[in-house]
Structure 1
Amino acid sequence: MRIYLPSTLPALATVLSDGEVRGDPITAFAVTPELTESTPGDSEELEYEALYAAADASLRLLAADPEAPRRRVVLAADIPDKLIGPAPDATHPAEVTLTGTVPLKRVASAHVDDEDAADDIARSAAEPDVGHEDEHELMWYATQELKYLVE
């Protein structure tokens, strides 16, 4: 299953250094039955909704880390279904919980705000529960490009 992991640039640097995403538990977002029931649209629209739910969670991570560059980061990864479970206190119908770690080799891509979005993202991070910054699309990065984001 494709999942979307909220992150920040400093957390991405840690993932690249460690070779995996760690957490206990790891919160992610995916096209769940709950999302499918609550959100009209085709599979592509549902994936987009899950991606931007993770981007909203990235805003909350940015709010908790005032030193992090003001750019949302979402890692897309493909994980076996057996490692994914419901989130006990889900705030979004796409929210799931993962057991274990997510090896870097499972990460398919990253979606990151352009540097030009930093001021708008900073304002959004000041009120992270309001929702994602709709004026800015996340940019797609291949896994081999990720090291350049954190240099």
Structure 2
Amino acid sequence: MLRGLVADREIRAINDTAFAVTPALREAYASGDDDELAEVAMAEAARASLRLLAEDSALDDKDADSDDDASPARGPIFRRAVIAADVDGTTLRPDLDDAVVRLSAAIPYSAIASVHVDLADAEPQVSKAVDVIDAADMGDPDAEFVLGDAEDHQLAWYAAQELPFLLDLL
């Protein structure tokens, strides 16, 4: 998706779903300034990124099962990614979660404030979390522990103009 953003100069969120500091999120926390609440929304977005990675991994597994000659030397590389953007025209989605919003359009590259991506040292924990994200969502304590290991890694901050160079390095 990040490569598509660079190539197309815009990105459309899957199902137009995004995360933001919403009135419901403000109500859910007794204290916290906008920066702290933005970190909460970012963490929710990072967890959603894990779900996308898990979905892609399941599709890759299905493709690998159908291709008998496929034998990758190294397994897939998993890194969470979150795009921070300044957008208007969102609709609140409290039926999903306090920080969830629906976007009304694709996000142009010019609206991207920053991109946040896991560093290489997070890959082992993120890979394990991808495998158990569904179980963690269902309350499995062992899966939640594995998920916590991944979420202990802070996402690295990159300016939007650095994204093409970052993708070349991955």
TM-score relative to the length of structure 1: 0.84
Are residue 98 (structure 1) and residue 115 (structure 2) matched?
Answer: no
Q: Tell me, which stretches of 5 or more residues in structure 2 are unaligned?
A: 61-75, 137-146
Secondary structure of 1:150's counterpart equals: helix
Q: Does 1:17 align with 2:7?
A: yes
Letter in 2 for 1:50: A
Residues of 2 paired with 1:24 and 1:88: CA distance? 18
For the pair 1:35 / 2:35, whether they are aligned, the reply is: no
Matched, 1:57 2:48: yes
Identify the residue that residue 92 of structure 2 maps to in structure 1.
Answer: 86
Identity value in percent: 41
Q: Equivalents in 1 of 2:14, 2:167: separation in Å? A: 24
Q: In structure 2, the residue corresponding to 1:65 is in which secondary structure?
A: helix
Q: Which has the higher contact order (CA 8 A, sep 6+)?
A: 1
- Three-state SS of the structure 2 residue aligned to 1:100 is coil
Residue segments in structure 1 that go unaligned for 5+ positions in a row: 1-10
1:79 partner SS: coil
**Aligned residues of 2:79 and 2:118 also touching (Cα < 8 A):** yes
> Which whole-Å CA distance do the structure 1 matches of 2:131 and 2:53 have between them?
9
Q: TM-score, normalised by structure 2?
A: 0.75
Q: Work out the CA distance in 1 between the residues paired with 2:153 and 2:13.
A: 28
Structure with more of its chain in helix, by fraction: 2
Determine the structure 2 residue equivalent to 1:26: 16
The structure having more radius of gyration, on CA atoms, is 2
* Cα distance in structure 2, aligned partners of 1:97 and 1:51: 15
- CA shift for structure 1 position 23: 4.4
More strand as a share of residues: 1
Q: Deviations over 1:108-134 (max 9, x none)?
A: 100110011101000111122435633
Structure 1 residues 58 and 16, CA, compared in 2 at 3 Å: closer, same or farther?
Answer: same
Supply the distance in 2 between the matched residues of 1:88 and 1:49 (Cα, whole angstroms): 15
Task: Provide the aligned C-alpha RMSD in A.
Answer: 1.8
User: Separation in 2 of the partners of 1:149 and 1:63?
Assistant: 22
Contact 1:25 1:99 in 2 (8 A): no
Structure 1 segments of 4 or more deviating over 3 A?
Answer: none
SS in structure 1 opposite 2:124?
helix
Residue 122 of structure 2, aligned match among 117, 124, 139: 117
